[in-house]
Amino acid sequence: MRRAFTLLEVMVALAIFAFAAVVLGAGYVNVLNAYAQAQRGNEYDQDVSFARAQLLAEPDHDKAEQGGDYDSLGGRHVRWHATIEATNTADLFLVTFVCELTEPTGGGLQTVTEHFNVDRPTWADPVVNTTLRQNAQNRIKGLQGANP
């Protein structure tokens, strides 16, 4: 007498195979989605870097705060502006940089905000800068006098 698989055993084997196929397929789709997301992130990084370079290349304080906009090679519309605050150090500014990227398909807006310090003599008020430099020189002289 020949032995064969029963219908129930075949159905269980097919169910296990189908479940494994669905799990592996879903994992593969997730990997592809992650690669696509990483690629979009790299494109956003390039657009933000270019906008930041425009800010740092701007010698005029008011124009730097006003910002600008452009259309990137990827078809996104990029708009940036900055808030520039003076510090207690001559020529040093605290910058809050905001860059907004709009997808060409109207798929949404992504906003990137960065905070950094910039040494920019052209943004400084000459009168305030002179006072800050004098105060720094006085502090240095005081420290030098305190440590013979």
Sorted by where each begins, the domain ranges of the chain are: 7-146
Task: Indicate yes or no: pTM above 0.85.
Answer: no
* Residue 145: both structure tokens together: 């006098």
* Residue 49: both structure tokens together: 């870097």
46-78: per-residue pLDDT in tens? 888 999 999 999 999 999 999 999 988 878 889
127 pLDDT above the threshold of 60: yes
User: How many other CB atoms are there within 10 angstroms of residue 99's CB atom?
Assistant: 25
Residue 97 binned pLDDT confidence (cut-offs 50, 70, 90): very high
Length of the chain: 148
Identify whether the C-beta of residue 81 lies closer than 8 Å to the C-beta of residue 143: no
Q: What is the pLDDT of residue 147?
A: 55
Residue 106 Rama label (left phi>0; alpha psi -120 to 50; beta): left
